[in-house]
Amino acid sequence: MVKVTLSVNGEIVKRAKELGLNLSQCLENCLKLYIQALENTNNQILSNQVLNEEKTQKWCSGRDSNPRIRPQLTDGTRVCGSRGRHT
């Protein structure tokens, strides 16, 4: 245990004592919850950053490594699959 000196609003201390609250235990419990919430938030942020980096690494904006030649008839008309001829 470490002895700590704090400044707290007098009315809050009075009301806490009237309710029989142990100020040291209340502060310790609140700090545990607050620290846990911060750590969870930080872990979520780091997890989201990792996911975003993985998505970024999978995306490639470069040229197609397997370019295709579009079929054309001798008159220059392109052939588009089962739809037939397009000009």
Q: Which residues contact 8 (CB under 8 A, 6 or more apart)?
A: 23
Map out the domains of the chain as residue ranges.
14-57
pTM, two decimals, is: 0.50
Residue 85 CB partners (closer than 8 Å, separation 6+): 73, 77, 78, 79
Tell me if residue 20 falls in helix, strand or coil. Answer: coil
Can you tell me the distance from the alpha carbon of 60 to that of 39, in angstroms, rounded to the nearest whole number?
Answer: 34
* pLDDT of res. 52: 73
Q: What is the pLDDT along the chain (87 residues), one digit of tens a residue?
A: 899 999 999 999 999 999 999 999 999 999 999 999 999 988 888 888 777 776 666 555 556 666 666 666 667 666 555 444 444
Output the pLDDT for position 65: 66
